[in-house]
Amino acid sequence: VIAAGGIFDRDDVERVFKLGASAVQVGTAFVATEECDADYRFKQAFVDARSEDVTIIKSPVGMPGRAIRNKFIEDVENGKRKPFKCAYQCIKTCNYKEAPYCIAEALLNACKGDLENGFAFCGSEVHRISGVTTVKKVIDRLFGERR
């Protein structure tokens, strides 16, 4: 069993290992690292996010996703549409003629730093990120010796 979701430090790893997991999958904690190739504005959104900024959205393909609330998300919630041509045909379940925006375009825009025309998916513990660090330090925080 690989445990995933909200794993941030050694206590989290120990907790899920005690429950029987044999590995962890970690996403969010690696975004705010120097090695991550996303734009610095994307990383900054992770650094700035407070727990109350995290929301669950329903993506255009019908699945829920946890994301950092911003104006783009609020616009869509308020019924605004973000016109697009379907450039990717990435997911069969997307009815692109009805969808209010293109999820692939929104995520790519955000990753490139254009958070006005997109948004960032994130893990539930994003608020625990306090700055941009290195992969080595993230690994140390997850698996290093206790000081």
Ligand X SMILES: Cc1cc2nc3c(=O)[nH]c(=O)nc-3n(C[C@H](O)[C@H](O)[C@H](O)COP(=O)(O)O)c2cc1C
> Measured from the CB of residue 112, what is the shortest distance to ligand X in angstroms?
13
Q: How far is the CB of 33 from ligand X (least distance, A)?
A: 12
- Complex with ligand X: residue 25 or 95, whichever CB lies closer: 25
**H helix runs in the chain, sequence order:** 10-18, 40-48, 71-77, 103-111, 135-143
- Judged by beta carbon, residue 42 or residue 96, the one nearer ligand X is 42
| Whole-Å CA distances, 48 to 11, 41, 126 | 23, 10, 9
Nearer to ligand X, 26 or 78 (CB): 26
Q: Is 17 left (phi over 0), alpha (psi -120 to 50) or beta?
A: alpha
* Between 7 and 49, CB nearer to ligand X: 7
The least CB distance from residue 147 to ligand X, in Å, is 23
In the bound state with ligand X, the residue whose beta carbon lies nearer, of 76 and 106, is 106
> To 5 degrees, how large is the angle CA 118–CA 69–CA 73?
50
- Per CB under 6 A, residues contacting ligand X are 4-7, 25-29, 31, 121-125
Q: In angstroms, what is the minimal distance from the CB of 36 to ligand X?
A: 9
Helices 103-111 and 40-48 cross at an angle (nearest 10°) of: 90
Shortest-Cβ-distance residue relative to ligand X: 123
Residue type, 85: K
CB of 12 to ligand X, least distance (A): 9
